Amino acid sequence: TRDLIRVNGLSTRFFTQEGQVNAVEDVSLTIREGELYGIVGESGSGKSVLGLSIIDLIGSPGQITNGEIWYRNAEIADAIRSQRPSAVDDDFVELTSLSPETRQSLRGKSFSMIFQDPMASMNPSLTVGTQIAEGVEAQRRARANPMTTTSKTNRYGMKDYFTSLFLPRNDYIQPESRERAVELLDQVGIPDPAERAQEYPHQFSGGMLQRAMIAQALAGEPDLLIADEPTTSLDVTIQAQIIELLEELQRETDLSIMMITHNLGLIAHMCDRLGVMYAGEIVERGTLPEVFDETVHPYTKGLLGSVPNLDEINSRLQPIEGNVPSLIDSEMGDRCYFVDRCPAAMDICHEHPPEYDLEGEHTVQCYLANERSTDDEKVPASGG
């Protein structure tokens, strides 16, 4: 399969009163067409900010300061080629060099994102069907004229995706958009979708509302769905059903899904490849067997060791002793960010480790990978 997204050396910083916060630091990864890609890490590791950076929902005081996000879309590449040849390579277009208006027009129809709390992304005063129909309608209009969308920033410093997505007024919604909304509700497994479409968010259970949010995210027929802890607030049974739904969507359509979670069991259950995030960096990535069976990074080992049963999609990450370091630039220094918690730390770890390429697609940011590439015996059999 082909690459859909190639992220190269991406850094996202927040410029706060406490100083510059390096929330995402020099991250590289690829997501393929139709793939389920996992991002795992503790809270505060930068995984949500990575997702928000890809979909361009970072607003002041945050900013992508470095790196490139290449996105395969022949149609968009053709449209941009003449104006901005440097932003196009073959069928790929480099997103961070596009104007905010162009990037915004890609949101919803190219990428969309679902969050932990579906209530927060729904308008309580509109019926669920209307909200989804507005999404369908907005995308139809955005396709017709990409320059009509506007950009707002909410109090979290993120551009308000939902406000901008649902610009068209209720009475502008075409009947076809309403029909499409019912189809989408049906597709995400909501029974009696035509009737449920007339109901308000508070009339939905948590699981049904999560399904409705997924329907909303699919309204623009995106290539990539970024799912940020989509099941964390749900109980175990409902959680399993939502995961099943996402897997089904990924199987039956050509949708790529980036699953952001602290739940390694979930990654083991559903992802093809993954990246492990720590202190804003991807410290280990590769295929599921590479990362789970040939683990090198002591942080990954710690995570794996902290999960009682990987077959259980509900197994939670137990905290590894110690704290995630402050991501404030002036306090991070030139060292391995895991050094204070690492059972295998060496003198050299007070210098920041480079990323080592191992066999296959396996990459590791840790000096142990260097030893391994020359002499396998030196790597501790287990750690964490």
Q: In the window 11-50, what residues touch ligand SF4 (CB under 6 A)? A: none
Beta bridge partners of 293: none
Q: Does 73 bind Mg ion (CB under 5 A)?
A: no
Q: In the window 341-360, what residues touch ligand SF4 (CB under 6 A)? A: 342, 344-346, 349, 353
Instruction: Give the whole-angstrom CA distance, residue 249 versus residue 329.
Output: 40
Pairing outcome for strands 92-94 and 88-89: antiparallel
> Token match 């991501």: residue?
327
Partner interacting with residue 279 (select from ligand SF4, Mg ion, none; CB below 5-8 Å by kind): none
Instruction: Give the whole-angstrom CA distance, residue 336 versus residue 279.
Output: 10
Element (H, E) at 239: helix 236-252
Biggest CA pair distance of the chain:
69
Q: Is 33 helix (H, G, I), strand (E, B) or coil?
A: coil
CB 290 within 8 A of CB 361: yes
Identify which of residues 48 and 139 has a Cβ nearer to Mg ion in the complex.
48
Question: Which residue is nearest to Mg ion, using beta carbons?
Answer: 48
Find the shortest distance in angstroms from Cβ 48 to Mg ion: 3
Instruction: Give the whole-angstrom CA distance, residue 350 versus residue 335.
Output: 4
Find the shortest distance in angstroms from Cβ 275 to ligand SF4: 16
Query: Which segment (68-76, 79-87, 200-208, 336-344) binds ligand SF4 by CB under 6 A?
Result: 336-344
Find the shortest distance in angstroms from Cβ 54 to ligand SF4: 26
Find the shortest distance in angstroms from Cβ 10 to ligand SF4: 21
Radius of gyration, CA atoms only, the chain? 21
Identify which of residues 38 and 384 has a Cβ nearer to ligand SF4 in the complex.
384
Identify which of residues 10 and 296 has a Cβ nearer to ligand SF4 in the complex.
296
Identify which of residues 25 and 137 has a Cβ nearer to ligand SF4 in the complex.
25
Find the shortest distance in angstroms from Cβ 326 to ligand SF4: 17
Partner interacting with residue 48 (select from ligand SF4, Mg ion, none; CB below 5-8 Å by kind): Mg ion
Phi first, then psi: give them for residue 25, nearest 5 degrees: -130, 110
CB 228 within 8 A of CB 116: yes
Amino acid sitting at position 190: I
Find the shortest distance in angstroms from Cβ 301 to ligand SF4: 9
Amino acid sitting at position 72: R
Identify which of residues 74 and 346 has a Cβ nearer to ligand SF4 in the complex.
346
Identify which of residues 226 and 296 has a Cβ nearer to Mg ion in the complex.
226
In terms of Cα–Cα distance, which of 65, 67, 93 is closest to 5?
93
Partner interacting with residue 138 (select from Mg ion, ligand SF4, none; CB below 5-8 Å by kind): none
Find the shortest distance in angstroms from Cβ 260 to ligand SF4: 22
Omega within 30 of 0 (cis) for the link into 193: no
Identify which of residues 138 and 277 has a Cβ nearer to Mg ion in the complex.
277
Instruction: Give the whole-angstrom CA distance, residue 103 versus residue 96.
Output: 8
Instruction: Give the whole-angstrom CA distance, residue 185 versus residue 91.
Output: 33
Q: In the window 270-299, what residues touch ligand SF4 (CB under 6 A)? A: 297-298
Taking CB under 6 A as the criterion, the residue among 10, 52, 114, 336 binding ligand SF4 is 336
Q: Does 48 bind Mg ion (CB under 5 A)?
A: yes
CB 228 within 8 A of CB 48: yes
Pairing outcome for strands 3-16 and 19-32: antiparallel
Query: Which segment (41-49, 84-92, 278-286, 372-380) binds Mg ion by CB under 5 A?
Result: 41-49
Find the shortest distance in angstroms from Cβ 51 to Mg ion: 8
For residue 324 the two structure tokens come to 């995630």
Instruction: Give the whole-angstrom CA distance, residue 76 versus residue 314.
Output: 40
Size of the site for ligand SF4 (CB under 6 A): 14
* Residues at the contact surface with Mg ion, assessed by CB under 5 A: 48
* Residues at the contact surface with ligand SF4, assessed by CB under 6 A: 297-298, 336, 338-339, 342, 344-346, 349, 353, 366-368
